[in-house]
Amino acid sequence: MNTARIEIIQGDITKSEVDAIVNAANTSLLGGGGVDGAIHMAAGSALLAECRTLGGCKTGEAKITRGYRLPAKFVIHTPGPRYKDGNHNEAELLASCYRNCLKLAVENHCATVDFPSISTGVYSFPLNDAAKIAVRTLAEELEHCPNIKRVRMVCFDQKTMKAYETALEALKAEE
Ligand code: AR6
């Protein structure tokens, strides 16, 4: 477990000056609402053009593109699970999003990575559970990613930030 390189901030991920930002996408990778819409809007139509070449992406997996007009060099697109009742592998699929995004970040020599709160908007994953899964998975994976200097959860609103702060504090208390 390694929580020291995880930070929680409130903000707009389209403004992040980092090596890679993560997009909470859908399996088409062709854009949508929420953070996905904001990222496509800020990056410009060249992002959609590259996404069209990727052939979509399965839930829990991830694909990488350039960042185009964004300050971030890369965008890592991952479709999170749609929350049904908790009995459809939602937790494992969500953890797998965080793991696969970090893996792509490492493969592409990214040292700084910013994540949004995957699946807790349109996809209705219960916020506190999603926050626990996110920070635990990141902390476990960072053990094996010495070249990643910093991972931030960029929370759009106060309630989301509180949930991630609480989850991270609980994890630090375990260490
Ligand atoms: N920066 C950071 N976080 C943001 C931003 C932003 N600019 N905009 C919204 N959020 P959602 P999901 C937060 O719904 O639940 C799309 O249509 C938002 O407040 O964007 O994974 C896709 O195409 C929330 O906390 O993603 C898919 O169809 C978090 O980002 C579907 O929605 C995630 O909310 C994916 O749903």
Secondary structure (DSSP) of 32-74: -SHHHHHHHHHH-HHHHHHHHTTT---TT--EEEE-TTSSSSE
Domain hosting 83: range is: 6-174
Ligand 1 atom closest to 117 (CA)? 29
Q: Find out whether the beta carbon of 16 lies less than 6 Å from any atom of ligand 1.
A: no
Q: pLDDT band for position 50 (50/70/90)? A: very high
H helix runs in 44-157, sequence order? 45-52, 90-107, 127-142
Tell whether 149 is covered by a domain: yes
Q: pLDDT band for position 94 (50/70/90)? A: very high
Tell whether 1 is covered by a domain: no
Tell whether 46 is covered by a domain: yes
Q: Find out whether the beta carbon of 83 lies less than 6 Å from any atom of ligand 1.
A: no
Mean pLDDT across the chain? 98
- Provide the number of structural domains found in the chain: 1
Contact between 116 and 13 under an 8 Å Cβ cutoff? The reply is yes
Query: By percentage, how much of the chain surpasses pLDDT 90?
Result: 99
Q: Find out whether the beta carbon of 13 lies less than 6 Å from any atom of ligand 1.
A: yes
Tell whether 128 is covered by a domain: yes
| CATH code assigned at 42 | 3.40.220.10
Tell whether 86 is covered by a domain: yes
The answer, yes or no, to whether residue 168 has pLDDT greater than 90, is: yes
The answer, yes or no, to whether residue 129 has pLDDT greater than 90, is: yes
Give the pLDDT score at 175.
84
**Averaged pLDDT for residues 147-161:** 98
Tell whether 140 is covered by a domain: yes
